[in-house]
Chains A and B, each alone.
Chain A
Amino acid sequence: MATTTPVLPATTSAEAMPKTVAGRVRRRLNTRAATVISILIALLWTVPTFGLFISSLRPEDAIKTTGWWTFFSDPKLTLENYNEVLFGQSASSGQLANYFVNSLVITIPSVLFPVAFAAMAAYALSWIQFRGREWIYIGIFALQIVPLQMALVPLLSFFSRGVSLAGITLMPAWQLEDEQKFIQVWFAHTCFALPFAVFLLHNFVSQLPGELMEAARVDGASHPKIFRTIVLPLITPALASLTIFQFLWVWNDLLVALIFAGGGDETAPLTVRLAELAGTRGNEWQRLTSGAFVSIVIPLIVFLSLQRYFVRGLLTGSVKG
């Protein structure tokens, strides 16, 4: 090794000292260049969001006539955009408060159901012995990568027309109206979430120590008891990651909501309304900027406060696969 670094003294006393002068300079230069580039990337990644946020606080005519960067030389702040976009009465104003409630109503059960069902399935696939276990797991795993586009048309007709085979009605149409359409959105989100949810939780549950389960079995604990009192408390971090994932996915989803919730103000979530505003009122920047921020703020809070769990879930969920 000494041949490539002849300036490095091979004595033990030199090890405590910093690397060679040349090496230090080179490393410093590398760090400098790296710092500049990483700051540039960081700027590129934050400035657009920052600009949107500043704009959402500027008066309408200021947004429409000058760039948001002029805010720093001519600061004018107002909350009028938020008031208008959330609570305005006119049809064009956004009325996002309504859609905000819809987003909440869609999201809460769409998170709870898949997390609970997946936890039970992950337990069964890890710790209950039965034939065909491996195949069921591989099947669920493979479903993860089926594009949900493959399921949309039939699932919608399942809700709206029911199931009939050779003229015999096996299941009538659900005939959901207005607010009841939330149910089909929950159903769709739950189905689509399950493969990944089972996979993620299975990664955690299957790695719990086997002696623990064995000891509990010897003590006469039944599977539901082991599941509730041993497994659930131990996989809380995994449940947290999955909950965050599913929350972000459902809250931010557009496609499933468009098809299963429709566009009306009874059921459509924020994303659908925002996309509509962007389409029909693409130049009303005072509404688009504040509206976009309204839709972003909850996931941002969740994300920033629970980032640790999110990252952990991401690492287990993807690297293991």
Chain B
Amino acid sequence: MDFADISPKLTVLVYGLVAFAVVVGGLLLLLDVVPTYFARRRERQLIAVAAGDVPAPPSGRLRKPREFGYAFFFLLPVVVLLLIGLVVPVVRTLVLSLKNGDGSEWVGLSNYGWLFSNGDILNVLWNSLLWVVLVPLVATTVGLLYAVMVDRARFEAVAKSLIFLPMAISFVGASIIWRFVYAYRGEGQDQIGLLNQIVVWLGGTPQQWLLESPLNTLLLIVVMVWIQAGFAMVILSAAIKAIPGDIVEAARLDGVTAWQMFWRITLPSIRPALIVVIVAITVATMKIFDIVRTMTNGNYDTNVIALEMYNQAFRYQETGQGSALAVFLFILVIPIVIFQIRNLRRQREG
């Protein structure tokens, strides 16, 4: 690498930073300067009125529109970007899902028919279902167990960091880490993957883990659980710490066992946090893409919706079928959107 390679990149970066300063700084400056200018003018007008030269300008109607003007400019970047980047594309994707591969002809619902009749795609949907059921369940369980067990233990902070750390690692990085764990060398050779070495130590024969369906999908799910358990643990741990001390103390005095304490006190108290965690992990899992693409590229019956959507839309240029898959993904998420909005409204009212 030499400087000639990176200098054009840095130039673009500088342009980007300048654009940032101009847009954000400019907007704030504009909002600062322009109203002040008008205020001055109005002041001058009022002085003129007081001097008796000019009729009085209409007053009273001033405050409201100005508030609206501020709101307009404060919200402008976000609203414009969301319209261009999300709202319009979502509508376009809905339309594209009713068209053929290159978007030139209307094909009705046939892309959706393809979705539910093609054997490969059914397999994809089945795998996705497995992901969406298992990842939230296992990750939340592990996170919860760990949060309960390290609560108020010595080294709690360190112990929590260890589980939490994978959240900082990219899905691609995590996939490479776990591919290394699953690595295979022929029987009789020294194993380099930890999992096969453990199998050999226990007297078994090494396996090509990622080639055997449905075991390989489960092994990919392990990677996602590995990443998400830390998230569950942090949220649930905070919820556990927020349980009022007198409830716990009262239960202790009643002599409940740790088991009863968990089921009767801890679990009911952290129910809201538990729901949040499960919803968040479910949504993340529905969109899982990186892990499958890096570990197996969807081969050996491990494909999932998001990867198939990418393949259809960007590798095979079948935008109709790709869009149908995206819409399907969206439909799966809609009940969760409604659930979340209801939650929000209840919180705002309550």
Contacts and interface: CB of A to CB of B under 8 A. Distances in A.
A103 to B, nearest CB: 10
A49 interface: yes
A109 B177 contact: no
A112 B22 CA distance: 13
Contact of B81 (A149, A180, A194, A227): A194
A174 interface: no
A321 B12 contact: no
A125 B155 CA distance: 42
Contacts of B344: 138, 141, 321
Contacts of A180: 12
Interface in B254-272: 254-258, 272
B177 A49 contact: yes
Contacts of A13: none
Interface residues of B, number: 125
A285 B183 contact: yes
B149 A143 contact: no
Contacts of B166: 45, 49
Contacts of B70: 124, 128, 222-224
B99 to A, nearest CB: 11
Interface string B164-208: 111111111101111111010000011111100100000000000
B54 interface: no
A38 B150 contact: yes
Nearest to A143: B86
Contacts of A141: 340-341, 344
Interface in A141-175: 141-143, 145-155, 158
A136 B165 CA distance: 36
B142 A248 contact: no
Contacts of A321: 276, 340, 343-344
Nearest to B235: A318
A318 B280 contact: yes
Contact of B194 (A67, A116, A228): A67
Given A147-B286, A254-B171, A45 B10 contact: no
Contacts of A68: 192, 194
B27 interface: yes
A142 B337 contact: yes
Given A37-B149, A108-B13, A125-B75, A146 B86 contact: yes
A3 to B, nearest CB: 9
Interface in B318-341: 319, 322-323, 325-327, 329-330, 333, 336-337, 340-341
Interface in A58-91: 63-70, 87
Interface string A229-256: 0000000000000000000100111110
Given A124-B75, A146-B90, A318 B276 contact: yes
A67 B89 CA distance: 49
Contact of A112 (B20, B81, B234): B20
A252 B253 contact: no
B170 A4 contact: no
A105 B14 CA distance: 9
Interface of A: 1, 4-5, 8, 23, 26-27, 30-31, 34-35, 37-38, 41-42, 45-49, 51-52, 55, 63-70, 87, 95, 97-98, 101-102, 104-105, 108-109, 112-113, 116-118, 120-121, 123-125, 128-130, 133, 136, 138, 140-143, 145-155, 158, 178-180, 182-183, 186-188, 190-192, 194-195, 198, 222-225, 227-228, 248, 251-255, 258-259, 266, 271, 274-275, 278-279, 282, 285, 288-289, 291-292, 295-296, 299-300, 302-304, 307, 311, 314-315, 318-321
Given A70-B190, A223-B74, A254-B293, 13 more contacts: A38-B150, A41-B142, A51-B177, A136-B79, A143-B86, A145-B336, A151-B93, A154-B92, A187-B85, A191-B81, A251-B170, A271-B173, A319-B239
12 contacts: A45-B230, A120-B78, A121-B78, A138-B341, A146-B333, A148-B287, A190-B85, A224-B31, A275-B293, A296-B169, A299-B170, A319-B239
